[in-house]
Chains A and B, each alone.
Chain A
Amino acid sequence: MLASKKFMEKLLPYHDRLQGVMQFVSIFSGTLSLEIQVVPLHDPFGPTISTPAIDVLVVSEETLPGAQQINSIRVEKGMPRLHVVPVEFVKLVSGERISSTMIRSHLTLS
């Protein structure tokens, strides 16, 4: 998750990123009555290594190794393993995979 964050000066503040996530979530899941909790992460694991009730962890291909680490910590602590759902990268027409770093770099250059 924290590998090579470039163009940090263009990184949006926490509040703006939170708003971006919540706007999309509220429209996508508008017909459901899901409880959505946003938790600030102060380390790479967050609640996944302290909350036994979590069943599934959705990760990007990039953070798949992190998920394996989380599961070994959970097993050590006597918590059930998480089902890991790896989501693929999405590519641009050029074949490059889209990332926040690319978007920030594009803002810097244009």
Chain B
Amino acid sequence: MPMSIATERTVGLWMPADCSGAHIRTAVKHIWATTTAQVTRLILVLDENRNDEQRSFGEYYWMIRDAYKSSLMSMSVDDGLQVDLQVFIYPAFLAIDALLKAYPDILFYAPLGTDLPSSLIQPVTFSLDKLVQATPIFKPQREEFDAMQPHSFDVVALGGTFDRLHAGHKLMISSAIILAKKSVVIGLTGTEILSIFFL
């Protein structure tokens, strides 16, 4: 019998935004343990489940940072370097249409009872009851982040080489987008200045 060849796959994980890092770690491990495909991209959507509550920039920052951190904690070093991990906030920021356009074959996993947007096909469900009890995560105090509000600065800039976008880049880009009211200016290092300095 021919061996089955693992296929590459974009997997989505739909989680409540107020879940803990322990929930995310367990859910990511669950996906890795149950899929036969090789996960090459993991899209983690944090669902705020409400539009009206005002969160500070700091709250968004910690939420996204913990999601990247917790997901990477559940992966081997190799997967941590290879898997294209992306964290999004729904519904305040993520456009489902753009996500589906970019990754039409995405297969979502979600805790049982999750209400997903109708444009997404039925997710693979798993029970949150089986997940470990949430443990409080240590959040270092950064008062200046908590004092900042989303969409409160007209022009936000950031810069870098942004080669093979990784979690650190994505956390920077996400932070800039959350803070900006009108525009985000992204300085992208030209290959020629890298050459001047390094070749």
Contacts and interface: CB of A to CB of B under 8 A. Distances in A.
Contacts of A59: 158, 172
A56 B153 contact: yes
A47 B72 contact: no
A90 B166 contact: yes
Interface string A14-52: 100110110111111111101111111111001110010
B147 to A, nearest CB: 11
Contacts of B189: 1-2, 40-41
Interface residues of B, number: 72
**Chain A: number of interface residues, binned into ranges:** 35 or more
Contact of B81 (A25, A40, A46, A106): A106
B54 interface: no
B152 to A, nearest CB: 9
Q: What secondary structure prevails in chain A residues at the interface with B? A: mixed
Contacts of B156: 54-58
A47 B188 CA distance: 11
Contacts of B10: none
A78 interface: no
Interface stretch (B30-38, B84-92, B110-118): B84-92
Nearest to B97: A30
Interface in B139-164: 145, 148, 151, 153-164
Given A34-B184, A38-B188, A24 B86 contact: yes
Contacts of A17: 161-163, 188
Interface string B62-73: 000100110011
Contacts, number: 230
A66 B13 CA distance: 37
B186 A37 contact: yes
A31 B186 contact: no
Contacts of B163: 11-12, 17, 100, 103-104
A80 B78 CA distance: 44
Contacts of B148: 85
Interface string B45-81: 0000000000000000000010011001111111011
Contacts of A43: 193
A2 B99 CA distance: 32
Given A41-B188, A41-B189, A106-B78, A90 B168 contact: yes
Contacts of A38: 186, 188
A91 B72 contact: yes
Nearest to A39: B187
A10 to B, nearest CB: 8
B72 to A, nearest CB: 6
Contacts of B173: 21, 24-25, 28
9 contacts: A17-B162, A27-B95, A28-B93, A30-B99, A32-B177, A57-B156, A63-B159, A92-B72, A93-B76
